[in-house]
Every structure is written in C-alpha cells, then in structure tokens.
Structure 1
Amino acid sequence: MQGQHIPTDAQKDEAALWHVKRAGGSMSVAQEGEFDAWINADPGNRLAYDQMRVLWAQVEEPARRMSTAMAGEKPRFDKVRQWFSPGRAFAGVAGAVAVGACVFFFNPDMVENIRADIVTENETVTDVTLTDGSIVHLAANSAIATDFADGRRDVELLRGQAFFEVTHRNGDRFRVHAGPAMIEVVGTRFNVDYLSRNTEIAVEEGAVRVSSNDNPQGVLLGAGDRVAVSTAASLGDVEKTDPTAIHGWMQGRLSVRNVTVGDLVARLDNFASGRLVALGDVSERTISGSFPTTDVVGSLETVAAAVGAKVIRTSPWLTVIY
C-alpha cells in the first residue's frame, strides 16, 4: 500500500526538481534514464512524484486563468511551502510550485498595497513628487506609504527600489523606513533597495544616517558610500560604490557586485511578466555584472552561462534557473 511508503523530505525535494525538469522539456535521453532509475528505486520516490503531479495540476490551471488579471502581483502560498522541508538546498522548489497556488488563494502584496499610497506596475519607472517638493523615482512593482502630517516627512518603502531627491526644508528631517532600516537626511540624493535579503542604501550626493533597531546610533554615509542592513537588523560595513551605478535601474540596468544568483533573480523577477525562480545550489553562487531589465529572459540566460546553470520555462508564468 502507498500509505506504507510515506515520502521523506528528501524524496519530496527530489520529486519537485524532477517535475520542474520534465515540465520544461529540457531532459536529455540520459536524464530520462536517471529519472526512470530514481522513480523505480523506492516506492516513496514514486509516491512523492505522484503527489507532486497532482499538486501541480491543482494549482497551475487556476494560476493560468488569473495571471492576466493579476499581472505584476508576486504570489506566496505558505501551505504549499510546508510540503517541503525547511532550510533544505531545494527549498526554492517550494516557491516554484507556490507560484501558481498562491495566486489562486491570496495575493501576498495585498496588505502592502492596502497600506501604500503609491504602487507601481511592472516594467515602469514612476516619478512621484511628494508634498514637500521632494522627488521619488520608483522601480517596477514598488510600493510606498507617506506621512507628511503635522510637519513630519516620513516615507516607508514597503517593497522594491526607490531613488530619492530630498528637498531641504528648514532643517526638517526626512526619514525613510525600509524593513529594518531607517534612513534620515536633510537634503540629498540616495537610493534604497528593498528587494532581497538585505536592505541596501547608497548615497549619490549629500549625507544620510542609516540605523536599525539593532544599531540605533547607526552609521553616516557620504557621497559614494553604501551599506546593507540584514533582515536581522544588523548593519554591515560601509563600502565605496560607483556613483554611476547607484540608480542604474532607472536606465534599465541592474548592476551588482558579488551577490548571490538567488538575490539577482529576485531583483530581475521584479521586472518580469511571470515568476523567476532559482533552484538548488545555483541560488547560492555569486555573480557580478550589469544586466538589462528590459530583456529579463536574456539577462537570465547570461546569468546561467556565467555560473554554469540551465534555464527552463515550465509555463508562460514560470521560468526556472537551476
């Protein structure tokens, strides 16, 4: 009986990866042989793969029907994620399966969008003039909330990227909150990247103080400086950066230095019409370079060539690099 062969976490992870490969039609004859050997090696393997096929069938069709109406929304489905073992090398597979399921169940950006005053769409750069005359340039699929009541000048970057041109006003502080990071300025031009594991702040002109709950004193950044704040609210070291690359995304390029493929894919995903997912140890490999956001598929192919990975498109709504 199948019930006597409950799949292990490892078998579930392997089943998900095999399903992604087979759905993308990228398997060679040799890989088909490896798959046959794997699925016949243990009843738990076959059961895990059968469960994966059923799960995929249940979630892909609703996702296809709703994807057009919800273009630009980034899905999440925690219930499906729980099917996979936490912290495993193939945990990203859960995200790949969740792409379809979570669109059907709920929109992960919904709460942020309700809180936001401004939400941008995919493949756009939106210029917003705030009530104090400051200007915010927002990247695709970004969201901000503002509070200018009673003399305050507070902006919260709920997600995405933003480049600020802050107007000096009688010494009044202008504050930007992004996850665990808080940036305080008087008048300056700086970029905030709140897309991946760290919140990154880079200054083009002027000076800002970056702090967090873990480090309320913070650090002072000048022109050409950058710092990262981790999800655990830990401040990194201040580094020098190329001022011309600080807001390269506004010219349609993402410039990165020694970031993980997973982080880069998460950033490119913001400019894609479907979901991009990095699987396995590929997501932890590091890469540097400049990648066009106007040709996300081409950028993903370039990344794959650079790190020795492969790209498959499992459906119009999901592209996987592994």
Structure 2
Amino acid sequence: MQGQDKPTDTQKDEAALWHVKRAGGSMSVAQKAEFDAWINADPGNRLAYDQMRVLWTQVEEPVRRVSEVMSPKKAGLKRLREWLSPGRAFAGGACAVALGAAVLFLNPDMIANWQADIVTRNDTVTDITLVDGSIVHLAANSAITTDFSNGRRDIELLRGQAFFEVTHRNGDRFRVRAGSTIVEVVGTRFNVDYLARDTEVAVEEGAVRVSTPGDKEGVLLGAGDVVAIGADALVGTVHQTDIAAIQGWMQGRLSVRNVRVSDLVARLDNFAPGRFVALGDIADRTISGSFPTTDVDGSLETMAAAIGGNVVRTSPWLTVIY
C-alpha cells in the first residue's frame, strides 16, 4: 500500500478524473460503485481525492466570494472591516493568496494583458493598421506590443495568433518576436501561431528569416513554407504547408493535423469566456480536423466524440475534457 503522506502522480491523476466525473453530477450506479471501490482501495487514493477537493475549492470558491463582496456596498464594507481585524489577519492573507491563485487560473492572460498595447476579445478577429501602414490580423484573445520609435518596426506577440501584411519601407526590417522566436522581414505576408506549445511560422508571400537567441542564423522561409520552434527554442525542419488551412482562423475555423488534444483545447480556450482544460491520457492523443471557433462548445463536443472522451462543465468558469 502507498504511504499516507504523499499520493503518487497516478493517484493524483485518477483523483482529478474522479472529481470531474462527480462534479458533473451524471455518474451511473456502476460508476459510483467503482468510485467507492477505488477510494477505499488505498489510503493514498483517499488522500489524493481530498487534496483535489481542497484545490478545487481554492480555485472556484474565492470567485464566488468576490461576487458576494462586490454586490451590496454596505455589506462589502462590513466584511472588509471584519477581514481587517487583527484576529483575521492570517485568514485574510490566506484568502488573498487563494483569490490570487483563482484569478490567475481563471484568467491566466491577465499579466500579459497588462503588458500589451492591443488585446483582442475572445469572440472576434481584429484588423489593425500599424503606423507604418502594415496590417495585423489579430486572432481572438491575442495580445501584442508595438515599438515604432527611432525608426524601429518591432512587434511582440505576447499571446495568440497573428497574420501580418508587411509594408516595404526603404529596406527597414520589420521584426516580430513570439517567446524565443524572432521573425525578420522586409515586405511579406506571414502567419505566427503562439497559442500552442510550439511557435509556428508560415509564409504566404515573400520571405522571412526565423531565428532564436540560441540559433541566430535560423532558417529562411519562402512562400508556402512553415517551421515550428519548440519550447527548447530550437528551430525545426522547414516543411511545405497549405497556407489557406493555416489561415482558417481568420474565417472562423481552426484546421489542424495530428496535433495534441491539449494543444487544440488550448486554442479553442482562446475563443471561450471560461477555461477549457484537458486531463488524463486524452490530453496527449492526437487529432485532425476542422473546428468552428464560432461554436467552441460544439467543437469541444465534436472533439470529445472523435477521441472517445467526455466533456464536463463543472461551473460557468471551467470545462474539462477527459
């Protein structure tokens, strides 16, 4: 039997899946019996499940508290005075930590949004004309910063997807940074995807050089070329691609080929008001297809059906596929 001090990673994963199933409220009699047998089979199982319940509460309950505190002004002030009393200093600090964790979990893009010059909503593609005349088509829930001072033409894609139509200007370089990836052009049309684990650059017209701090030489891409830069900041192999499929997000569809389910869920999450999370073995499976971004709930259901998964909406803020 496992010790009671620390559940194994497997037990934690099983506990997360059981909590999702129970939160969904649709367990069959057989599943309830299976859960009872699992939780009683090993003390580590019960400890893992108890820890998962506490974690879930820390994520969702503070959000409800914020709603309660902000509604009636007088009641909010009264609670604030109570929380500031010396006897509640520790509890207040703990609540603040839990609240901060909840806010970052439910809105992980908050810090990037503070840094950004332009942030798009999660239900539309935004066309932006930059000061040099170049055009950026920015995907939903994406964020960029711009720097056109002292002759520079620098863009940083903090999050999301963007398609660039770069205006030629006296040979001045136009540079896009996405994480560790640097794209340099003079005049061209290209796509940058900074949603998934990798950063992907695809060229429709012209040529760009893609590099990283660890690979300053990088690779040169021409029309129809695509390359991925992994989390290790290494530039991958250049391939030919269907640029129209890559640009599908501008017409309200995500077209993918052999991508990890967790990566596709992360992409769909950018078009949803709440959070989408993939758990368990399903997260590492691969999937191909075309999914509408105008109906992300339907796309998630379609994806789950294709891979034999389940979708549970635990609250208005969180949807889990497992």
The equivalent residue for 1:86 is none
2:237 is matched with which residue? Answer: 237
Question: Contact (CA 8 Å) 2:62, 2:102: kept in 1 or not?
Answer: no
Q: Confirm whether residue 147 of structure 1 aligns to residue 147 of structure 2.
A: yes
SS at match of 2:112: helix
8 Å contact from structure 1 (residues 210, 220) kept in 2: yes
Q: Would the aligned equivalents of 2:58 and 2:99 in 1 still touch at CA under 8 Å?
A: no
Secondary structure of the equivalent of 2:124? coil
Is 58-67 or 133-142 further displaced after alignment?
58-67
Q: How far apart, CA to CA, are the structure 2 residues paired with 1:107 and 1:193? A: 20
In the other structure, the counterpart of 2:38 is: 38
Residue of structure 2 in register with 1:167 after alignment: 167
Q: C-alpha separation between the residues in 1 aligned to 2:99 and 2:283?
A: 17
Contact 2:58–2:102, Cα closer than 8 Å, also in 1: no
Greater share of helix: 2
Match of 1:261? 261
3-state SS in 2 of match to 1:246: helix
Whole-Å separation in 2 of the counterparts to 1:254 and 1:65: 36
The answer to whether the aligner puts 1:188 opposite 2:156 as a matched pair is no
Q: SS of 2:141's equivalent?
A: coil
Q: Distance in 1 between matches of 2:308 and 2:136?
A: 38
In structure 1, the gaps of 5 or more residues are 68-97
Cα deviation, residue 249, structure 1: 0.5
Task: Decide whether the 8 Å contact of 1:7 with 1:45 is kept in 2.
Answer: no
Structure 1 pair 317/111, CA: closer, same or farther in 2 (3 Å)? closer
Matches within 5 A, 1:5-84: 5-9=4-8, 10-64=10-64
Using the aligned pairs only, state the percent identity: 76
Whole-Å separation in 2 of the counterparts to 1:19 and 1:29: 16
Deviations 1:51-76 (A, max 9, x none): 32233234312234669xxxxxxxxx
Summarize deviations over 1:188-237 as a string: whole Å, max 9, x none. 11110001110001111111111112321111111111110111111111
1:95-122 superposed Cα distances (whole Å, 9 cap, x missing partner): xxx9994317895433322221111111
Quote the Cα distance in structure 2 between the aligned partners of 1:253 and 1:228.
21
Q: What is the rounded CA distance, in whole Å, between the counterparts of 2:202 and 2:119 in structure 1?
A: 22
1:213-228 → structure 2 map (5 Å cutoff): 213-228=213-228
Distance 1:242 1:65, change over 3 A: farther
Residue 128 of structure 1: aligned partner? 128
Q: Which amino acid in the other structure matches residue 252 of structure 1?
A: G
Cα distance in 2, alignment partners of residues 238 and 64 from structure 1: 48
**In 1, Cα distance between equivalents of 2:134 and 2:305:** 41
Partner of residue 92, structure 1: none
Using the alignment, how far apart are the partners of 1:106 and 1:251 within structure 2? 27
Q: Could you say which residue in structure 1 is the equivalent of 2:319? A: 319
Instruction: Assess if the C-alpha contact under 8 Å between 2:252 and 2:294 holds in 1.
Output: yes
8 Å contact from structure 1 (residues 62, 104) kept in 2? no
Instruction: Return the alpha-carbon distance in structure 2 between the equivalents of residues 55 and 233 of structure 1.
Output: 33
Question: Residue type matched to 2:289 in 1?
Answer: G
Q: Secondary structure in 2 aligned to 1:158?
A: strand
- The answer (yes or no) to whether the contact 1:174–1:186 under 8 Å persists in 2 is yes
Q: Distance in 1 between matches of 2:211 and 2:99?
A: 34
- SS, match of residue 271 in structure 2: coil
CA distance in 2 between partners of 1:303 and 1:274 (Å): 18
1-structure distance, mates of 2:99, 2:314: 11
Task: Return the alpha-carbon distance in structure 2 between the equivalents of residues 310 and 152 of structure 1.
Answer: 49
Question: Unpaired runs of 5+ in structure 2?
Answer: 68-97
- Kept in 1, the 8 Å contact 2:139–2:250? The answer is yes
The letter for the 1-side match of 2:236 is G
Give distance in 2, aligned partners of 1:235 and 1:133: 30
> What's the CA shift string for 1:242-291, capped at 9, x where partnerless?
12113111110001111111110100000011111111111111111111
**Higher-Rg member (1/2):** 2
Q: Do the aligned partners of 2:7 and 2:47 also contact (CA within 8 Å) in 1?
A: no
Q: Contact 1:26–1:312 (CA<8 Å) still a contact in 2?
A: no
Give the alignment's TM-score, normalised by structure 2.
0.84
CA RMSD of aligned residues (A): 2.1
How far apart are the structure 2 equivalents of 1:99 and 1:121? 24
Instruction: Indicate conservation of the 8 Å contact 1:59/1:100, yes or no.
Output: no
Counterpart of 1:14 in 2: which secondary structure? helix
Paired position in structure 1 for 2:110: 110
- Amino acid in structure 1 at the alignment position of 2:205: E
More moved, 37-46 vs 190-199: 37-46
